[in-house]
Structure 1
């Protein structure tokens, strides 16, 4: 019995455990300075969501930041659930716990300075 238990223990370390994040939306845009994502996603119960963002400045300076907002659709308008700013040409991510509702992304840069952007939202 000890040999069986030991063998199962050894096998448990040999079997890889892979956890995959589910992708809720992906996005890509060119020459963006003020834009809302075309896609949205629904949340049925509170979960942690991660926005992975990549941007390349086109007309913006290296010190210009783009802010990425997670917006929750409300009965009238929307509210900001989370946000993060990304400076110049960069890659990055941020996370937020989102409750029940429908969400989308909003991208804002100052003075119509433009970026090419891409990324995804996963949970």
Structure 2
């Protein structure tokens, strides 16, 4: 079995976050979703748990940070092509995200852009020409 990753994020507006992560390419897994959380499936091994602040507090006693004011993490997600990077950013912006809070990266063999979800969490989308990387 492949390792799986579950990214747990506190969100202010569950519906807005769901729209954003759907535009990012996710689908809702109803088995692990309710009125306080949604399990957004990005791939067979990548899941984003978006949790209302009240639900997130069930998992930690630490204060919830403000991702719009402070950087907590940069989460990178691969794409199959340069065009798909741009298309995904456009869909996510239409769903309430902000494009390119960090500079666009274009190194020829690798292309990346970033986007910010409605709560300020930054995702990096990138494409890499594996043939050029492998040499």
Question: Which interval holds the TM-score relative to the shorter structure?
Answer: under 0.3
Question: What TM-score, normalized by structure 2, do the two folds share?
Answer: 0.24
Higher relative contact order (CA 8 A, sep 6+): 1
Richer in strand (by share): 1
Richer in helix (by share): 2
Question: What TM-score, normalized by structure 1, do the two folds share?
Answer: 0.26
